[in-house]
Structure 1
Amino acid sequence: MDSVSHAQSASFDFDLSVGDFPVAAKPLKICLLGYRSSPLSGGQGIYLKYLSRALVERGHQVDVISGEPYPELDPRVNLIKLPGLNLFQYYPKQWQAFRLNYLRSLTDLSEYLSVATGGFPEPQTFGRRLAKYFRQNSPRYDVIHDNQSLCYGLLAVAKQGYPLVATFHHPITRDLKLALEAEDSWRMRLLIRRWHSFLGMQKRVVPKLRHVVAVSQVSKEDISRDFKLASDHLGLVYNGIDTEVFVPSKELPRLANTIVCTASADAPLKGLKYLLEALATVRQHNPDIRLILVGRPKPDGDNAKLITQLGLGDIIDIRSDISTEELVGLYQQASIVVCPSLYEGFGLPAGEAMACGTPVISARGGALPEVVGEAGVLVPVADADALAQAINTLMADPCERERLGAAGRARIEQQFSWQVAASQFEQLYLKAINDANG
């Protein structure tokens, strides 16, 4: 069956509860896709790392096809490198990275020209390389699972008869909306729109995919609305948390008055501005307060300027490009982890911190309340005063911090497991295979 031509008329109101579909009678050969997949690049790399491992542990053979920067994978998972230009490694001088050999490839040239003019072409150019790879090699896979590239290349691959599943972490339409609201300069607003121009591609591709999965209920609802999909045309599989890596520590002491915040992107969406403003207020009452910021604020960005303006440079320790082990150590030692995001499709940092037994204060952005539940402190989004009050209150109450830490660990163990996610995806893979063969 042509899985593209029937997409818009097909009904895929599927329930992904464990047990609805039989366990695969034989191991599947699964291909996971990622246009940039390093865990240091954000949640998508973490997703590929753990989902691929969980699928292998269920007995399946898993390949990951990825662009640069490449993922960290279990040794049992095969990585097929599909290199792009990775021009953002040259930030802020990407335009100076031109090479004459780019002229030999329309894909390379278009990627360079797009980046040089403020665009983000990686999902689309990854799709072009992916389609070429499949044309030239015709690899055998039982199912292909895309990790939010949502690119034209997927449609080309689907036309070759491969059953296809796609994970849609969160609609980037939200990123665009929040970025535009935070910017007054018309020139910068043009650049923001230019950067997000890949959304046009995604809006054309998503309705043609038969099996799309969101990672939270709020993300599912937003995708349905922003991408003109009926809500029952989307599945839901929550992300997992590695509860064997993200664990409470019996050896490392908690660092007094220490907040940890992970902000993988220096964008308004992450709400770092409101944590910085809250930190300035908290400091008036608690001069010993400290923030360890895991991320890389742009030297000339709004957050870096705000740190200087508020005089917070001496109490903020910025860490970037750290290993998973270092991140776990930071969570284990933090007094509190704060997640100030205005929107998250899932909220891995909150879940990982909770798995480490660390109390979490979180904004009610996107799916964060679904992850945190009653095992953390929830505050309104974009409310520095509420955030400051929550920090002051929790810092002053060690018993409540201990209670929330234990409750958070229990919640993650009970409700967010990669093993459960892999089992649910296995069921969906079988459905996609059955539909493609029907």
Structure 2
Amino acid sequence: MSRQARLKILSIAHPAVSSEGGRLRYHSLAARDDVDVHLVVPAVWKEFGRSFVGTPSDDPALKIHVLPIRLPRAGPMGWYLHFYPGLRRLIREIDPDVVHLWEEPWSVVALQARVLKGRAALVMEVDQNILKRLPPPFEAIRKQVLQHTDHVLSRSPDATAVVRARGYRGPVTPIGYGVDLTSFFPAPDMPVAESMRSGLRIGYVGRLIEEKGLDDALDAMARAAVPVSLAIMGEGPHEDRLRQRVTELGLGERVSFQGWGTPAEVASFMRSLDIMVLLTRTTKSVREQFGRVIVEAQACGIPVIGSECGAIPSVVGDGGWIVPERDPGALAKLLEQVADDPALRSARGTAARHNVEARFTYEAVSHVLASACLAAAGRGQS
């Protein structure tokens, strides 16, 4: 395909604000010879108590537009009120064939893009997997945006059910999160100290909130008839209660805490584990939308024990085990089983890496995104 015929995609995505994380999949997309990619990110983004500064592109194939946003954290709707004052001018300058939003359809920026997109097709990428009626004006925004959406990229079957229930009737394509395989990869050789380590080492990476089920992991450790240690990387409001529970259960020498790390530090932490755990509990406001740490651990060759919450079972695939939510007894039995069977852990670790290579590389994710955009613009599948 000639350069003049390339599909012009304008993607609006606050998760791509920095050069790491969500930004990385766009490099694979921009490397294609059938698309011309423009990415819009906020100049500053605040999330979970951290502040991220929008960075320019270090890839000549990827055109990044760092724009100021208004209303970044106003009111109870948090992330969903922001919009870009400079978006109208940018859309006129680029004249895209497709506007892609990595934002929820009830967000103000989604409505802004729907109003300003001009001739462009609209592709929405959605994560929200709990159906609930939103307060005004957000329910009306969602209805308006979905009525004018040409293609939905969905993180899970539950997320698809939500947009269907709110009136979307067009095509839907599943899309996962990608993993940076240059950071997340198996250890080349297991250190002797680790190969002779006594007991099972499990770990968790993420926010320390009650809904993530770490209390269940602690209770299971106390019940298990085999030695199990737990390493925790992350921060959050539930940390004090977790530390108290560790003391109550007499697990002080078997549980460690550390704060957030860089991607390289997270990967190194994961490679030090036998198993990663993600035991999210379903509540009225929480259902696991994907579980990015699952695929990061699996990319390191580390199998995952996940709960039945939301998308966790489908993401884990053959690369781990699934236990019922809020069931420390079932988890304790599983820990006893896997602790006594290193061959089983090794086989699940190999399956975990294969799961990522087949479904969650940046190349795989960018291919899905490009195919949806091409289809929305009427150019067929790539």
TM-score with structure 2 length normalisation? Answer: 0.78
**Residue 419 and residue 167 in structure 1: after superposition, are their counterparts in 2 closer, same or farther (change >3 A)?**
same
Structure 1 residue 237: Cα displacement: 2.6
Q: Gaps spanning 5+ residues in structure 1: where? A: 1-21, 85-106, 177-192
Secondary structure at the counterpart of residue 434 of structure 1: coil
1:283-302 per-residue CA deviation (whole Å, 9 max, x = no partner) reads xx345x32222221216765
Instruction: Tell me, yes or no, if the aligned pair for 2:279 and 2:307 is still in contact at 8 Å.
Output: yes
Q: Structure 1: which 4+ aligned runs deviate by more than 6 Å?
A: 22-25, 71-74, 196-199
Q: Which residue, 317, 327, 331 being the options, matches 1:373? A: 317
More helix by share: 1
Distance of 1:240 and 1:111 partners within structure 2: 27
**Residue 274 and residue 252 in structure 1: after superposition, are their counterparts in 2 closer, same or farther (change >3 A)?**
same
Structure 1 residue 322: Cα displacement: 0.9
Q: For residue 271 of structure 1, what is the amino acid of its counterpart? A: G
**Residue 197 and residue 297 in structure 1: after superposition, are their counterparts in 2 closer, same or farther (change >3 A)?**
farther
Q: Which residue, 30, 34, 58 being the options, matches 1:56? A: 30
Tell me how many residue pairs correspond in the alignment: 352
Query: Is 1:272–2:214 an aligned residue pair?
Result: yes
What residue number does 2:14 align with? 35
Distance of 2:131 and 2:5 partners within structure 1: 40
Distance of 2:18 and 2:322 partners within structure 1: 26
What residue number does 1:147 align with? 102
Q: Gaps spanning 5+ residues in structure 2: where? A: 46-51, 282-286
TM-score with structure 1 length normalisation? Answer: 0.69
Further displaced range: 313-322 or 375-384? 313-322
Q: Which residue, 316, 322, 327 being the options, matches 2:255? A: 316
Distance of 1:24 and 1:353 partners within structure 2: 38
Distance of 1:307 and 1:23 partners within structure 2: 62
What residue number does 2:288 align with? 344
What residue number does 1:156 align with? 112
Query: Counterparts of 1:235-384 in structure 2 under 5 Å?
Result: 235-253=173-191, 254=194, 256=197, 257-264=200-207, 266-268=209-211, 270-282=212-224, 285-287=225-227, 289-298=228-237, 303=242, 306-307=245-246, 309-342=248-281, 343-384=287-328
Query: Is 1:170–2:112 an aligned residue pair?
Result: no
Structure 1 residue 250: Cα displacement: 1.1
More strand by share: 2
Identical-residue share of aligned pairs (%): 22
Distance of 2:189 and 2:65 partners within structure 1: 39
Structure 1 residue 74: Cα displacement: 6.7
1:118-163 per-residue CA deviation (whole Å, 9 max, x = no partner) reads x2422212x2xx2x21234434133222112432332232233133
Distance of 2:171 and 2:375 partners within structure 1: 14
**Residue 49 and residue 212 in structure 1: after superposition, are their counterparts in 2 closer, same or farther (change >3 A)?**
same
Instruction: Tell me, yes or no, if the aligned pair for 2:41 and 2:67 is still in contact at 8 Å.
Output: yes
Q: For residue 11 of structure 2, what is the amino acid of its counterpart? A: L
Query: Counterparts of 1:78-227 in structure 2 under 5 Å?
Result: 78-83=63-68, 107-108=70-71, 111-112=73-74, 114=75, 119-125=76-82, 127=83, 130=84, 132-137=85-90, 138-140=92-94, 141-150=96-105, 151-160=107-116, 161=118, 162-171=120-129, 173=131, 200=139, 203-204=142-143, 206-208=145-147, 209-225=149-165, 227=166
Q: For residue 27 of structure 1, what is the amino acid of its counterpart? A: R
